[in-house]
Amino acid sequence: MNETNKESQGIHPTAIIDPGARLGQGVSVGPYSVIGPDVVIGDGTVIQNHVTITGPTTIGVENVIYPYASVGHDPQDKKFKSSETSILEIGDRNRIRECVTINRGTEDGGGYTRVGNDNWIMAYVHIAHDCIVGNDTVLANNATLGGHVTVEDRAYLGGFTAAHQFCRIGRHVMTGGHTMIAQDVPPYVVAVGNRAKMFGINKVGLERYGFTKEEIKGVEKAYKMFTRGRGKTEDTLSEIEQALGEIEPVRNFVEFIRKSERGVCR
């Protein structure tokens, strides 16, 4: 890319952009940022100064990536080989703050790391290989996701939250600062501590996102039935379904626990 084209696209003359990269309309790239081959950046995305992006990486529209972020580098996995299929996909309208690191996937994990839309990813967050992050999440400063972690829509991870490999964090979960997650965290709950324990449902969050009173009461009752159950987990889940199965969030709660392979925090 010559200097005239750089200036016309809002690209600083000190930025280094590989000829194999593809930038959409209105993309801006700040001073000293480096964009490697096999990188696709959607319209209106802003890359600020000192950002490094390598590929294969696809970034959607209207994202903002702040200084010193490292996006799309090799996974931190000793088994990884450069010949593997390894891709990072980032959706639209995300805010990726200072010093965030997001790694590509590995073949063992399906080859993909994916970040959805409208996420707020704060300073020093690490998203490891093969993670799946949904939409409209908040990952506060220094939150760390080990490999193969799934974070569902509208989860809120407090500062310094750390999730062990292969854990799943359900939708509308809220974690406290310095929480260590070693097992799955079911949807709609508040989890705190090392190791994470559940402390009720995220009632305020559910109200803010427009859940009805019936839905919130149903989730709260399902949570109490689950945490106070003394029999087999499947028997308790069946009881919850029988009593509250017509409420969609309750069905989500039950299905998440039923699919858990690591077990859920208590």
Q: Which residues are catalytic?
A: 129-130, 147
Quote the radius of gyration of the chain (alpha carbons, Å).
Answer: 20
Q: What are the C-alpha distances in Å from 181 to residues 98, 156, 224, 227?
A: 24, 13, 21, 18
| Alpha-carbon gap, residue 40 to 37, rounded angstroms | 9
Phi-psi region of 68 (alpha: psi -120 to 50; beta: other; left: phi over 0): left
Q: Which amino acid is present at 50?
A: H
* Distances from the Cα of 33 to the Cα of 11, 94, 131, 247, angstroms: 10, 18, 25, 49
Instruction: Check residue 264 and report its DSSP letter.
Output: B
Phi, psi of 207 (to 5 degrees): -65, -45
d(CA 182, CA 191): 12
Strand order in the sheet with 132-133: 22-23, 39-41, 57-59, 87-90, 112-115, 132-133, 150-151, 168-169
* Direct distance between the N- and C-terminal alpha carbons of the chain, in angstroms, rounded to an integer: 55
- Contact (CB, 8 A) for 128 and 147: yes
Rounded to whole angstroms, the Cα distance separating 203 from 201 reads 5
